């Protein structure tokens, strides 16, 4: 077999010779310079740590180069080792491999580092400002080499991006086990992340970044569409007329970039503020937002006009969200729906840009004067909350989008709490996604066609529609609305041109839907109707994988929202029931130390083994979370787990007995 240059490079791994230094490419979005957090001794340690990947003969050249990177960027990325070939989701057989499963994983992680997909590709950051696939390029090169050489009798172990190595296992074991940011709980503050990451010993894998499951903003368009459709339903039920609703929000980054597109699909007029011109223009050029302006009044005028004309339309305001909110208050504009998707899980290192400073000024200040930067962020949050409060008093429905906006605003001293100490506004999970989706097992099921051919994706779409329609015909009333929304979504998905990077599709589905769709894909692969394996997964914004008290588990009210047993159980359970890879992370949307989330990937190759894994693993992956939500006394989950037990006699779940509130209250009278 003749190997391509790409294949030769993968098999070589970290090259024995030193590649030429690579110029810093200014045409690409780069991670902000990270905080200078290490003392002299720790800096020496960071450089020594980085040199572990390279032959001693190169240390004299690399040591000062790594010192310079640490000083200039706050991290050692090893830019020189960034490969020459284009990184993207090639067709599975282009990746050199001995194990098909390993090749599928190479495809998935390559997609996460594609320039068209990743937020800061040269710093190996996929989304969320700090969601890393690897800490440095040596880890990438070594991991790809291991994957290329491994068999189905080995498991690759990744410690926060670092490939510890291949360990003998067996064909039913996961091919890769990923842990990201696992630290001793007392060492889990944001500054601990800064320090451990600068030392090169830990990383923030976010959710789908470090688990190789990112599929670009499509992944989130679907969830955002469902959220906005249900939010709009909610306020319409609460009495508003049938006029076209106006949504105001912020962020056109990795996930937030999906908002304008979702708003259009949901039939809402939207203005989204974004301070980073590169992020804003990227979304505009991709067609995810219809118009762009630096003039705040113009943004408002266009929105009002489109509302009048009853046309769904999305506008990017290139500026600070606080400027937009304050202008809306000043002009007394009625906003129907409000939210925020700045990266407040990472408030001090580029996640939130305070009003009054330019984008460049902020980037400089967060490094050179972090204390003053923090003060400005907090002042900005107070102003933002104050403007939101004024609009909410006039009827706006505001919800936290799981980005820690309420949490950080409260920490900043903003007027964001009710008298009883709870937040003035609900999180979207408390009000919408939790009770309407997660409690019933609906979550962000997704798949990627490993041929990387759009034709295969079309076939999978059609299969999914067919399966869902059959299920919807006999679905109980409690889940009919969700089924309808999801059928509409999958029907329109193709025309909405949602694919960026790998040939991927997301579709909210419950346990039964996920298993039946997956089984139908596996059959189509076996029959040759789909030309190559299909990779299943989900993001972590789901019923089971994530313990996150201000987001995924914010509608858990039995006090267990601060425990993380569910996420840990989930990843352990997935790994022995047939996942091809599993991952567990500290940090994810809401911040380091604030969440534990787990994920999986599963390769379908048309085999009987795949059929067995689908049934066993997907069943656990969904019902673990339903059982926990049911134990927390959530109505929908109690309904769903009873239904699951009826259809699977092997499932025996402890059902809560509901105590009478009056009995308890009397005890304290």
Ligand X SMILES: NC(=O)c1ccc[n+]([C@@H]2O[C@H](COP(=O)([O-])OP(=O)(O)OC[C@H]3O[C@@H](n4cnc5c(N)ncnc54)[C@H](O)[C@@H]3O)[C@@H](O)[C@H]2O)c1
* Residue placing its CB nearer to ligand X in the complex, 274 or 512: 274
Question: Helices 296-309 and 321-330 meet at what angle, rounded to 10?
Answer: 60
Check if the beta carbon of residue 379 is closer than 8 Å to that of residue 354.
yes
Q: How far is the CB of 227 from ligand X (least distance, A)?
A: 7
User: Which has the closest alpha carbon to 586: 220, 132, 108, 111?
Assistant: 132
* Residue placing its CB nearer to ligand X in the complex, 407 or 509: 407
Angle at 537 between CA 535 and CA 436, to 5 degrees: 140
* Residue placing its CB nearer to ligand X in the complex, 174 or 351: 351
* Residue placing its CB nearer to ligand X in the complex, 253 or 441: 253
Q: How far is the CB of 30 from ligand X (least distance, A)?
A: 13
Q: How far is the CB of 550 from ligand X (least distance, A)?
A: 10
Check if the beta carbon of residue 120 is closer than 8 Å to that of residue 112.
no
Backbone angles phi, psi at 230, to 5 degrees: -70, -35
Strand, helix or coil at 423? strand
Q: Which stretch binds ligand X (CB under 6 A): 6-14, 248-256, 574-582, 607-615?
A: 248-256
Q: How far is the CB of 549 from ligand X (least distance, A)?
A: 14
Selected from 274, 410, 547, 621, the binder of ligand X by CB under 6 A is 274
Contact call for residue 223 and ligand X (CB under 6 A): yes
**Structure token pair of residue 448:** 């990627």
Query: Total number of residues binding ligand X (CB under 6 A)?
Result: 34
Q: How far is the CB of 426 from ligand X (least distance, A)?
A: 14
Contact call for residue 119 and ligand X (CB under 6 A): yes
Residues 363-402 that bind ligand X (CB under 6 A): 401-402
How far CA 520 is from CA of 397, 499, 574, in Å, comes to 41, 22, 21
Q: How far is the CB of 444 from ligand X (least distance, A)?
A: 9
Selected from 136, 139, 218, 224, the binder of ligand X by CB under 6 A is 224
Q: How far is the CB of 437 from ligand X (least distance, A)?
A: 12
Pairing of strands 581-586, 176-180: parallel
441: left (phi over 0), alpha (psi -120 to 50) or beta: left
- Which position's Cβ is nearest ligand X? 253
Selected from 139, 143, 343, 452, the binder of ligand X by CB under 6 A is 343
**Structure token pair of residue 660:** 């009478």
Cα–Cα dist 152/100, whole Å: 9
Q: How far is the CB of 284 from ligand X (least distance, A)?
A: 13
Q: Which stretch binds ligand X (CB under 6 A): 22-30, 151-159, 246-254, 627-635?
A: 246-254
- DSSP output for 549-564: TTTTTTT--SSGGG--
Q: Which stretch binds ligand X (CB under 6 A): 33-41, 51-59, 245-253, 515-523?
A: 245-253
* Residue placing its CB nearer to ligand X in the complex, 429 or 603: 429
Q: How far is the CB of 158 from ligand X (least distance, A)?
A: 22
Q: How far is the CB of 244 from ligand X (least distance, A)?
A: 22
Selected from 77, 95, 288, 353, the binder of ligand X by CB under 6 A is 353
Q: How far is the CB of 556 from ligand X (least distance, A)?
A: 17
Q: List Cβ neighbours of 424 (8 Å cut-off, separation of 6 or more).
A: 389, 392, 416, 417, 418
Q: What is the largest CA-CA distance in the chain?
A: 82
Q: How far is the CB of 101 from ligand X (least distance, A)?
A: 28
Q: How far is the CB of 211 from ligand X (least distance, A)?
A: 15
Cα–Cα dist 252/273, whole Å: 8
What are the residue ranges of helices labelled H in 79-202?
A: 100-112, 137-149, 190-199
Contact call for residue 139 and ligand X (CB under 6 A): no
Cα–Cα dist 601/175, whole Å: 10
Residues 579-618 that bind ligand X (CB under 6 A): 589
**Structure token pair of residue 549:** 């008290």
* Residue placing its CB nearer to ligand X in the complex, 141 or 321: 321
Q: How far is the CB of 398 from ligand X (least distance, A)?
A: 15
User: Which has the closest alpha carbon to 13: 158, 140, 150, 177?
Assistant: 140
Cα–Cα dist 652/649, whole Å: 7
Strand, helix or coil at 586? strand
Selected from 113, 138, 148, 220, the binder of ligand X by CB under 6 A is 220
Check if the beta carbon of residue 533 is closer than 8 Å to that of residue 103.
no
Selected from 49, 101, 135, 256, the binder of ligand X by CB under 6 A is 256
Beta bridge partners of 274: 318
Selected from 215, 232, 266, 273, the binder of ligand X by CB under 6 A is 273
* Residue placing its CB nearer to ligand X in the complex, 269 or 322: 322
Cα–Cα dist 458/72, whole Å: 46
Check if the beta carbon of residue 520 is closer than 8 Å to that of residue 534.
no
Contact call for residue 342 and ligand X (CB under 6 A): yes
Contact call for residue 275 and ligand X (CB under 6 A): yes
What are the residue ranges of helices labelled H in 88-217?
A: 100-112, 137-149, 190-199
Cα–Cα dist 271/349, whole Å: 25
Q: Which stretch binds ligand X (CB under 6 A): 43-51, 273-281, 454-462, 611-619?
A: 273-281
Selected from 148, 176, 321, 349, the binder of ligand X by CB under 6 A is 321
Question: Interface mask (CB under 6 A) for ligand X, residues 401-420, using x and -?
Answer: xxx-----------------
Compute and round to an integer the Cα radius of gyration of the chain: 24
Q: Using CA of residue 448, residue 453, residue 457, residue 459, what is the dihedral sign?
A: negative
Residues 322-341 that bind ligand X (CB under 6 A): 341
What are the residue ranges of helices labelled H in 74-136?
A: 100-112
* Residue placing its CB nearer to ligand X in the complex, 148 or 412: 412
Q: Which stretches of 182-264 are assigned E, i.e. beta strand?
A: 246-250
Q: How far is the CB of 402 from ligand X (least distance, A)?
A: 3
Contact call for residue 129 and ligand X (CB under 6 A): yes
Contact call for residue 549 and ligand X (CB under 6 A): no
* Residue placing its CB nearer to ligand X in the complex, 122 or 345: 345
Strand, helix or coil at 662? helix
* Residue placing its CB nearer to ligand X in the complex, 154 or 250: 250
* Residue placing its CB nearer to ligand X in the complex, 128 or 501: 128
Residues at the site binding ligand X, with contacts judged by CB under 6 A: 119, 127-129, 220, 223-224, 250-256, 273-276, 279, 320-321, 341-345, 351-353, 401-403, 541, 589
């Amino acid at each position: 077999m003749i190997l391509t240059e790409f294949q030769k490079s993968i098999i070589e791994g970290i090259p024995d010779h030193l590649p030429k230094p690579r110029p810093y490419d200014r045409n690409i979005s780069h991670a902000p310079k990270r905080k200078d957090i290490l003392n002299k001794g720790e800096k020496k340690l960071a450089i020594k740590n980085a040199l572990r990947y390279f032959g001693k003969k190169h240390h004299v050249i690399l040591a000062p180069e790594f010192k310079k990177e640490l000083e200039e960027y706050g991290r050692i990325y090893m830019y020189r080792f960034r490969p020459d070939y284009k990184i993207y989701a090639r067709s599975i057989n282009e990746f050199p491999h001995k194990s098909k499963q390993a090749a599928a994983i190479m495809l998935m992680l390559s997609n996460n580092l594609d320039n068209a997909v990743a937020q800061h590709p040269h710093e190996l950051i996929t989304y969320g400002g700090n969601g890393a696939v690897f800490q440095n390029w040596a880890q990438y090169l070594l991991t790809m080499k291991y994957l290329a050489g491994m068999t189905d009798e080995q498991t690759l172990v990744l410690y926060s991006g670092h490939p510890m190595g291949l360990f003998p296992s067996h064909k039913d074991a996961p091919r890769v086990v990923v842990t990201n940011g696992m630290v001793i709980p007392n060492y889990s503050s944001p500054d601990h992340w800064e320090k451990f990451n600068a030392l090169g010993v830990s990383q923030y894998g976010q959710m789908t970044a470090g688990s190789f499951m990112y599929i670009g903003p499509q992944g989130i368009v679907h969830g955002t569409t469902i959220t906005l459709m249900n939010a709009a339903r909610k306020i319409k039920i609460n009495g508003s007329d049938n006029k076209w609703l106006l949504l105001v929000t912020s962020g056109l980054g990795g996930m937030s970039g999906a908002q304008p597109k979702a708003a259009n699909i949901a039939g809402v007029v939207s203005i989204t503020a974004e301070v980073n011109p590169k992020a804003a223009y990227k979304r505009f050029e991709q067609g995810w937002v219809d118009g762009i302006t630096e003039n705040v009044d113009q943004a408002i005028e266009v929105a009002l006009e489109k509302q009048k004309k009853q046309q769904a339309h999305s506008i990017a305001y290139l500026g600070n969200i606080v400027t937009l909110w304050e202008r809306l208050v000043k002009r007394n504009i009625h906003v129907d729906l409000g939210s925020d998707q700045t990266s407040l899980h990472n408030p001090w290192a580029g996640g939130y840009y305070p009003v009054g400073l330019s984008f460049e000024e902020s980037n400089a200040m967060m490094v050179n004067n972090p204390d003053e930067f923090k003060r400005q962020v907090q002042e900005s949050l107070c102003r933002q909350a104050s403007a939101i409060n004024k609009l909410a008093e006039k009827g706006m429905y505001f919800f936290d989008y799981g980005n820690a906006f309420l949490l950080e605003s409260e920490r900043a001293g903003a007027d964001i709490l009710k008298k009883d100490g709870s937040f003035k506004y609900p999180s979207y999970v408390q009000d919408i996604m939790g009770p309407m989706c997660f409690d019933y097992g609906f979550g962000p099921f997704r798949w990627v066609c490993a041929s990387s051919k759009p034709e295969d994706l079309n076939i999978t779409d059609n299969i999914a529609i067919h399966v869902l329609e059959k299920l919807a015909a006999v679905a109980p009333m409690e889940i009919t609305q969700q089924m309808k929304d999801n059928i509409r979504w999958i029907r329109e998905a193709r025309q909405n041109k949602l694919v960026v990077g790998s040939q991927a599709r997301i579709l909210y589905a419950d346990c039964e839907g996920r298993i039946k769709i997956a089984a139908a894909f596996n059959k189509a692969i076996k029959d040759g109707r789909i030309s190559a394996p299909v990779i299943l997964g989900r993001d972590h914004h789901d019923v089971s994988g994530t313990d996150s008290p201000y987001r995924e588990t914010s509608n858990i009210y039995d006090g267990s929202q601060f425990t993380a047993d569910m996420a840990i159980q989930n990843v352990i359970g997935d790994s022995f029931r047939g996942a091809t890879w599993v991952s567990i992370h500290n940090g994810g949307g809401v911040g380091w130390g604030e969440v534990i989330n787990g994920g999986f990937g599963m390769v379908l190759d048309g085999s009987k083994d795949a059929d067995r894994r689908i049934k066993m693993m997907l069943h656990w992956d969904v019902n673990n979370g339903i059982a926990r939500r049911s134990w927390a006394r959530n109505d929908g989950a109690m309904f769903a787990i009873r239904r699951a037990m009826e259809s699977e006699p092997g499932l025996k779940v402890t059902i809560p007995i509901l105590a009478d509130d009056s009995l308890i209250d009397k005890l304290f009278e």
